[in-house]
Amino acid sequence: MTKEWKPDRLSEQPIYKQIVQYFEEQIRNGELPPLSKLPSERMLAEDLGVNRSTVATAYAELSASGLIISKRGSGTLVGEVNQDYSSGRLPNWNRMLIAGTLLPNVPIIQRIAEETHHKNLIDLATGQLSPELFPNEQFQHLLKNQHFDHPLSYDHPHGNMKLRETIAGHLKTYKKIDCTPSSILITSGAQQALHLIIQCLLKPGDAIAIENPSYTYSLPIFKSLGIKTILLDADENGVNPQAIHDAYMKHRIRMIFLGSAYQNPTGAVLHSERRKKTLSTAYEFGIPIVEDDPYSLLSFENESAATLKSEDSHGIVIYISSLSKMVSSGMRIGWILAPKQIIERLADARQQIDFGSSIFSDWLAREFLKSDFFDPHLHQLKIELKERRDILVSAIEKHLPGLVDYTVPKGGIHLWCRIKPAHHDEKLFNQSVDKGMIYTPGSALGSNKGFVRFTFGRAAKQSIDTAIAAFSEALLLQK
Ligand X SMILES: Cc1ncc(COP(=O)(O)O)c(C=O)c1O
Q: Whole-number minimum distance, CB 234 to a second copy, in Å? A: 22
Q: Give the phi and the psi of residue 69 in degrees, each rounded to 5.
A: -135, 150
Residue 348 or 387 having the CB closest to a second copy: 348
User: How far is the C-alpha of 190 from the C-alpha of 17, rounded, in Å?
Assistant: 46
Pick the binder of a second copy from 10, 29, 302, 372 (CB under 8 A). Answer: 29
Contact status, residue 468 vs residue 400, Cβ threshold 8 Å: yes
Residue 399 or 458 having the CB closest to ligand X: 458
Picked from a second copy, ligand X, none, the partner binding residue 401 (CB below 5 to 8 A depending on kind) is none
Contact status, residue 435 vs residue 470, Cβ threshold 8 Å: yes
Q: Give the phi and the psi of residue 399 in degrees, each rounded to 5.
A: -95, -20
Q: Whole-number minimum distance, CB 330 to ligand X, in Å? A: 9
Instruction: Give the relative orientation of helices 464-476 and 425-434 as an angle to the nearest 10 degrees.
Output: 130
Pick the binder of ligand X from 5, 148, 355, 360 (CB under 6 A). Answer: 355
Residues in CB range of 386: below 8 A, 6 or more apart: 300
DSSP-derived secondary structure letter, 388: H
Interaction of residue 322 with ligand X, rule CB under 6 A: yes
Among 57-65, 131-139, 245-253, 293-301, which window interacts with a second copy (CB under 8 A)? 131-139
Among 97-105, 377-385, 397-405, 435-443, which window interacts with a second copy (CB under 8 A)? 97-105
Sign of torsion, CA 413 123 128 236? positive
Residue 7 or 450 having the CB closest to a second copy: 7
Sites for ligand X among residues 41-100 (CB under 6 A): none
Site track for a second copy across 30-69, x = CB under 8 A? xxxx--x---------------------------------
Residue with smallest beta-carbon separation from ligand X: 189
Pick the binder of a second copy from 361, 432, 440, 472 (CB under 8 A). Answer: 361
Closest listed residue to residue 225, CA positions, set 338, 102, 127: 102
Q: Whole-number minimum distance, CB 437 to ligand X, in Å? A: 19
Interaction of residue 131 with a second copy, rule CB under 8 A: yes
Site track for ligand X across 419-448, x = CB under 6 A? ------------------------------
User: How far is the C-alpha of 293 from the C-alpha of 306, rounded, in Å?
Assistant: 10
Sheet with 228-235: strands ordered across? 184-187, 334-337, 317-322, 289-293, 256-259, 207-212, 228-235, 238-239
Among 65-73, 286-294, 430-438, 443-451, which window interacts with a second copy (CB under 8 A)? 286-294
Angle at 370 between CA 364 and CA 374, to 5 degrees: 90
Sites for ligand X among residues 106-165 (CB under 6 A): 127
Picked from ligand X, a second copy, none, the partner binding residue 249 (CB below 5 to 8 A depending on kind) is none
Instruction: Give the relative orientation of helices 189-201 and 340-354 as an angle to the nearest 10 degrees.
Output: 110
Sites for ligand X among residues 201-230 (CB under 6 A): 215
Picked from a second copy, ligand X, none, the partner binding residue 80 (CB below 5 to 8 A depending on kind) is none
Sites for a second copy among residues 417-446 (CB under 8 A): none
Sites for ligand X among residues 377-406 (CB under 6 A): none
* HSE-CB of 453 using CA atoms within 13 angstroms: 31
Contact status, residue 74 vs residue 37, Cβ threshold 8 Å: yes
User: How far is the C-alpha of 415 from the C-alpha of 279, rounded, in Å?
Assistant: 26
Sites for a second copy among residues 193-212 (CB under 8 A): 195, 199-204, 206
Interaction of residue 264 with ligand X, rule CB under 6 A: yes
Q: Tell me the CA distances in angstroms from 353 to 140, 183, 347, 356, one per residue in order.
A: 31, 20, 10, 8
Interaction of residue 10 with a second copy, rule CB under 8 A: no
Interaction of residue 408 with a second copy, rule CB under 8 A: no
Residues in CB range of 27: below 8 A, 6 or more apart: 67, 68, 78
Q: Footprint of ligand X on this chain (CB under 6 A)? A: 127, 189-191, 215, 259, 264, 292, 294, 322, 324, 329, 334, 355
